[in-house]
Structure 1
Amino acid sequence: MSPMVSLVDVLALPALALRPTHAVDPDAAVRWVATSELDDPAPFLEGGELLLTTGLAARGWRREWDGYVERLVARGICALGLATGLTHARPPVGLVRACERHHLNLIEVPHDTPFVAVSRAIADLLEEEDRREARDASRYQRELITAALDAHDGSAVPRRLAGLLRGAAAVLAPDGTLLVDPSGPRSDDLDLASLTAELARIRPRGLRAASAVATSDAAVELHPIGVRTRPSAYLAVLLPAGAGEARRSAVRTAVALLGLAGERAAERRDADRALRARALALFLAGDSHGAVLVLGAASRPVVVPERVCVVLSRPSVAAGAVRTGLSDLLEAVEDDGLMISGEDDGLVALVAPDRAEALAADAVAAGARVGIGEPVALEDVAAGHRTAGHALARTADGAPVVAWEQVMHTGILGLLEPDRAADFAHTLLAPLAASPELRATLLAFLSHHGSRLKVAEELGVHRNTVRHRIQQVEMLTGLHLDDAEHRVRAWIALQALPAPEPVQPR
């Protein structure tokens, strides 16, 4: 952005002796000086100029002034300077009224003030402004670097930036959570709800996800922080209107410093993750002492209770959004000092038994299925990992979280794949399909541990009838019900099939 000075600064130069005839906006920015005697100089202007003219082409104008001024205002000039004592002894009434009507600054340039003097004076002001901006930019950069060194996590940078901007600054997580609270003289003007909504809109664009919304007196900007593929956070700033290049440069410096701080934090996090992964491998190998020693090298303490549950989380679908959700969950709970690590596109964690359900709920919210192992001592983590795997295998869309205790309550069938168990049962008991009496007798026989008397009492039949039915069952199925293994087969098969219709006693 090119340097600029305000019109009031130009009017304050005593050597020029400029006189404001109609100063509707004395703080308007002057970017350059242009001179023209054309009756329509607008096509040759860029905007922001102080246009100087003797009004030579406007000799005798009355109504023409309105269109002339309207075209200049549409082009965006900051002011019109009319030299008096030449074509016009004083600013024409028509010109004054046109400037009033279209809200254009009008100044009178005395006969003794050459246009070149005005141009040279403004050039000097712009050059000085340029030098001042450079000095300020250098000073702002030093102050921000000092703030970054004072707080290694970069948290002091946005607070110092807010003061330099005379606006506001804050740092937000990708989900809109505040990482560094808003600060600065205009911190109340940062609308966090609007910022969170804007983050949701721009976040899919990754590191290109910058945003700026301008108002009449300020601009609110969001800048992604990070040097990898995904922003680790976002810097929100409020820049007052008219902020110069030095302050805009300060914002860029702050983004770079926060990115470096985030990169250092990411490197520490990666190192800690590698240590946790190694410690987890040692736990699974039964070397809990070595695992604790490895965790001692982490930059942050990791809490491993004496008794733990292994919690396994896997994406319920092969979707990037789920993996991103689990990655975000990993980063969130790492800061809580949990023993957690990535594993096979999912997560594995060792947590106190009373924290397992809460972690499982967070993983399900991220789109995962979760298995919770049995509570074990640290030296038995391998067993806890196996039971968590068995529980994970029993999850489904309608039951995304399964604990090993639930599997245990379902008996041995809880360990079998349902379709395989059903096929086994149908094959073994197919010869009994046409005889509900035989199937009911078999179930009662197994329930009463082979007591024919109790079976007869339950079914309301004679003991000889029970003995005859059991012989038929053995003949049809090939089972030998005096053999314990055969009884187990029959019991599993009966449990894997729907219960038979009750047989009415005879």
Structure 2
Amino acid sequence: MSAIHTDRPDAVALPSVRDVLQVEAVRRGGPEVLVGGDALDVPVRWAHVSDSDQVADLLEGGELLLTTAAGWSGSDAALRAMANSLADAGVAGIVVELGNRFAVAPPALVAACRARGLALIALERVVKFVSVTEAVHRQIIAGQLEALQERQRLHELFTELSLRGAPADTVVRETARVLGAPVVLETPGREVVTADARDAVASDVLNGWAARSRADAELLAVPVQARGVRWGTLVALPGAAHPAGVMTVLETAATTLALARLADGPAAWAALPAREIVEAIAGGRHTGVDDVSARIEAAGLPLRGRMLSVLVAERVEAAAVAAVVGSLTSSDADVRALGAVFDGDGVIVVSSARELTPDELSRAAEGLPAGLAIGAPASSVAELLASMRPARLLAARLGAGEVRRVDDRPLTRLVTELGDDHRLQEHSERMLAPLIRYDEQYGGDLVRVLRAVVAHPGNRTAAAGASHLSRSVFYQRLALIADLLDADLDDGETLAALHLALLALAG
């Protein structure tokens, strides 16, 4: 990453030597670029006309020298010295009008300029230098005016974001929009708080982010800090130039982020990576496995050689999700987790070196007002994404305090994977319709009793207890269910079919 610095205000929107070559007054001279390349991209601060061989003493840097070279010596040594003195003075380039002092550009001058990376342009025809200077100075003044206008627009944009308390992800998104380039907000430990890839692929931006942030010299960065405390860094990837200067944009955005951090505290930043990852996994807001993988690793959750899992608790608050994450990570440093609320459900993503134990999961679920569903263990992000839907659907079937693994409930997993398949719904309706109609007509509890029966197959005493009915009343209900369904409730296949129908009904 490049050193943190600020653009020189009067060098932000200056025309380059290349731009000057497009000026009509220059084009009339038939310009021939003798030394170009990167040297043509040097900004021009002013146009200076002089034929003196001592002109370097009068320059301050950034000038484009327009000359007929009338006062120059013709010796190779003098020409090399002339080129070196101008390069040392920091001139933007040299425009030499041929025909007066030199019929052709001296090879010694061309070689010296090439060695110093100094732009050299020869004019084949006579031009009015005053016309060139007027045109160049108009460009410079217009560029500076545009820069001032852009800085004013930036001030208004980011002031508005500050006044309305915009969160960090909004500020980063607006910064990326203004620059037309990817922008990343990272912690001092180089974990990504939030990022906007703009028109790039997120995985291309975020893959190996920590290493890239340390080593990529093309990145531009400014600190996000206040009152002597540095909370992170705002980083822009290479993109087009901006009239106000890329660094000016970043500094203005960083100030907005610092003010928001002071107002909102650390919790606002801490919640962003979790929220964005959970939205990607649970809401499908991603462009593929590589995208999700890059985001997870950039947020500090390792993937290689790890066991991944997703936990879901239906209808819980953010505080409850934070408590589960804290419980999972507090006892084992090798367990990393993050979580957020998505569409009313608490979703936790876990990366660990081993499978979580039942005791760990039970402790994490203590105090939850809902059950905790654990998705199938995954060794890849693709498997993690596939485990999301079954875990959410299982969570919808759990009571408060229940902790269940999708893999421990094969029939439940089958139902969740089939999802809204119309054949499953038709099966449920066909088998349970008599009980549902009876319960609706008489305010009965037959569906609830049947649930207890399938939950405790072969144990009528346990089923009666789960129904909260006396044995005699329970057996009456059981006989009524068998009559209405015209089914043998002691038949294993019948019970399995009824269990499947009840699970589909719950979904």
Higher relative contact order (CA 8 A, sep 6+): 2
* TM-score scaled by length of structure 2: 0.45
Determine which structure has more spread, i.e. the larger CA radius of gyration.
Answer: 1
